[in-house]
């Protein structure tokens, strides 16, 4: 039988577009066992801990994974939602809302959430999209500021999946959106909404997740992007220098991480007579352990114990309409040129 190529029109009709909304991920349950499995995946990622494997593996398995899982599990238990881990619940909801928004604008795209560590994994979601016939995938990440430790690690996971495939879909990656005006506007509105109900604080503290300072010296643009996001927000909210602080949280290990550190800053503010502080975490689009526990519980305690009088935690963007609109605008811009309209 002679070879009969498919008609070009039929081939084009078979193109399917998808958006993969990626976030860090959480353990399946708030138990030491589930946290151990999650942390071994997370902390075994060479993008996250850049210590040579021969040195790091014995420390990770011999020390960290013996003690940290139970402690972290207790913290997760304190913030767990009826539907599951907050980060997963919000990320899933964001994917649904984004799909609805894009659908209403006439785009024929599938949106799926995926987790870099834990479930649903990036590989499992790409397998599902492949089974549904997706031939183009736009990869969006829940990290507005680029870091090798997060953004590049998601790209590594996509590449690892692709390495096992004969037909690799056409991928597009959005590496950051730290200066996206609609993202800044959604953050500003979330702060203004809070202030409308609760009045204004003496200080607004903007806390970003930290990374080792060494990563910055080696070329990671993360710190510059966090500072730029904060700067846009400060300008939009018309804050004077005395009205805000920018800090970095979640230091891990003994190396120097980005400074100033969040918790010591909260203590310093409480001790120096600042009565009320409001904390916003602009780098986290979804509430999670780092915001609900480390800031809203531990940070509050630190500030009040040091002498502060009133502590307000301003929630992450989560399912705010203005944030979903921002996300959809970013998606739409990067979908352009792909025929997604029915």
Ligand X SMILES: C=CC1=C(C)c2cc3[nH]c(cc4nc(cc5[nH]c(cc1n2)c(C)c5CCC(=O)O)C(CCC(=O)O)=C4C)c(C)c3C=C
Which residues are known binding-site members?
Answer: 209, 290
Distance (Å, rounded) from C-alpha 46 to C-alpha 44?
A: 6
Q: Which does 143 bind (CB under 5 to 8 A by kind): ligand X, Fe ion, none?
A: ligand X
Closest contact distance (angstroms) between CB of 125 and ligand X is 18
Q: By Cβ distance, which residue is nearest to Fe ion?
A: 250
SS3 call for 87: helix
**What values do phi and psi take at 334, rounded to 5?**
-85, -10
Closest contact distance (angstroms) between CB of 333 and Fe ion is 28
**What values do phi and psi take at 341, rounded to 5?**
-85, 140
Q: Which does 287 bind (CB under 5 to 8 A by kind): ligand X, Fe ion, none?
A: none
Binding flags for Fe ion, 254-293, as an x/- string (CB under 5 A): ------------------------------------x---
SS3 call for 152: helix
Annotate 286-336 with DSSP letters as a single string.
S--IIIIIIIIIIIHHHHHHTT--EEEEEP--TT-HHHHHHHHHHHHHHHT
Q: Given candidates 18, 19, 24, 137, which one binds ligand X under the rule CB under 6 A? A: 24
Report whether 277 contacts 201 (CB < 8 A).
yes
From the annotation, which residues make up the binding site for Fe(2+)? Answer: 209, 290
Stretch binding ligand X (CB under 6 A), from 144-152, 192-200, 271-279, 323-331 = 144-152
Q: Given candidates 18, 19, 49, 230, which one binds ligand X under the rule CB under 6 A? A: 49
Q: Which does 141 bind (CB under 5 to 8 A by kind): Fe ion, ligand X, none?
A: none
- Cα-atom radius of gyration of the chain, to the nearest Å? 21
Positions in the binding site for Fe ion (CB under 5 A): 250, 290, 294
């Amino acid at each position: 039988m002679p070879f009969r190529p498919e008609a070009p029109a039929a081939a084009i009709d078979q193109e399917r577009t998808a958006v993969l909304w990626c976030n860090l991920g959480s353990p399946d349950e708030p138990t030491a066992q589930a946290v151990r499995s999650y942390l071994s995946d997370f902390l075994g990622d060479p993008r996250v801990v850049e210590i040579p494997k021969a040195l790091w593996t014995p420390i990770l398995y011999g020390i960290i994974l013996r003690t940290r899982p139970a402690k972290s599990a207790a913290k997760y238990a304190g913030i767990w939602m009826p539907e599951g881990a907050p980060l997963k619940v919000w990320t899933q909801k964001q994917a649904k809302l984004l799909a609805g928004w894009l659908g209403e604008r006439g785009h024929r795209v599938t949106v799926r959430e995926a987790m870099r560590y834990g479930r649903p994994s990036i590989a499992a979601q790409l397998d599902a999209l492949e089974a549904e016939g997706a031939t183009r995938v736009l990869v969006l990440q829940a990290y507005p500021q680029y870091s090798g430790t997060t953004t590049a690690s998601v790209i590594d996971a996509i590449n690892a999946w692709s390495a096992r495939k004969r037909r690799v879909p056409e991928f597009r990656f959005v590496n950051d959106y730290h200066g996206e005006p609609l993202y800044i506007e959604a953050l500003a509105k979330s702060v203004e909404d809070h202030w409308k109900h609760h009045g204004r604080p003496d200080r607004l503290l903007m806390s970003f997740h930290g990374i080792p300072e060494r990563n910055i010296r080696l070329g990671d643009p993360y710190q510059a992007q966090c500072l730029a996001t904060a700067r846009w927000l400060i300008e939009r909210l018309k804050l004077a220098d005395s009205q805000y602080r920018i800090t970095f949280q979640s230091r891990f290990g003994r190396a120097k991480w980005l400074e100033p550190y969040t918790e010591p800053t909260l203590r310093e503010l409480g001790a120096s007579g600042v009565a009320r502080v409001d904390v916003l975490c602009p780098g986290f689009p979804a509430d999670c352990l780092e915001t609900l526990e480390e800031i809203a519980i531990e940070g509050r305690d630190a500030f009040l114990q040091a002498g502060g009088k009133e502590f307000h935690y301003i929630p992450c963007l989560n399912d705010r309409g203005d944030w979903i609109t921002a996300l959809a605008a970013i998606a739409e811009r990067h979908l352009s040129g792909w025929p997604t309209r029915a």
